A = this chain, B = another copy of it.
Amino acid sequence: MDSNISEIYSLIQDLSWYFGNQGFDGECCEDLSLVEYMALKKVCAIKNITIQEIGAALNITKSGVSKVIDRLEEKDYVLREQSSEDGRVCCVKPTEKGLNAVKKISDRYSEYLMEVLDSIEKDLLVNIRDVMELLYKAIREKGYIK
């Protein structure tokens, strides 16, 4: 086992903890939980996304997604709409409030990251982005660990 791999794994895990539920504090995110925010991001990113698509993207059951969308709809971040092509399908769209919230939270986190990476040189920053991108794409292609 390449020791670099073990170290990378451990670093990702610890990093993930910071950006997971424990690091994601209600205060900086309006009234959104992490999963609500993740779902909202998908809704904003993909036009007319369905319940099951959100579930596939976030690795949660359709039942779980349905309730997340309930909450988001109740708080006026998204709207449900029946698909005109298939009456069984529920298309989810962001409201103006939803779009704004995603932007605001994203900005807040970026600002935090900017402070964190303050002393780091520009070209190294590009390198970080490239590395993260490569890593994420590879993992996404591979799918969730089973």
Pick the contact of A8: B12, B128, B134 (CB < 8 A): B128
Among A21, A120, A128, find the residue whose CB has the most chain B CB atoms closer than 10 A: A128
CB distance from A143 to the nearest CB of B (A): 9
Please report the C-alpha to C-alpha distance between residue A145 and residue B7 in the assembled complex, in whole angstroms: 24
- Main secondary structure, interface of A, reads helix
The verdict on A136 contacting B14 (CB below 8 Å), with A8-B129, A131-B131 known, is yes
Question: Does A83 count as interface, using CB distance less than 8 angstroms?
Answer: no
Question: Does A89 count as interface, using CB distance less than 8 angstroms?
Answer: no
For the complex, count residues of A whose C-beta is within 8 A of B.
63
Which residues of the partner chain B approach A115 to less than 8 Å between Cβ atoms?
142
Are B127 and A11 in touch, CB under 8 angstroms? no
Which residues of the partner chain B approach A5 to less than 8 Å between Cβ atoms?
110, 113-114, 117, 125
Besides the known contacts A2-B125, A24-B145, 4 further A-B residue pairs in the complex with CB atoms under 8 A apart = A7-B129, A9-B113, A18-B145, A127-B131
A–B complex contacts, Cβ < 8 Å, 12 sampled: A1-B110, A8-B117, A11-B136, A14-B140, A15-B15, A15-B16, A16-B18, A16-B19, A25-B145, A25-B146, A120-B138, A124-B134
Chain A residues packing against B (C-beta within 8 Å): 1-2, 4-25, 27-28, 38, 58-60, 106-117, 120, 124-129, 131-136, 138-142, 144-146
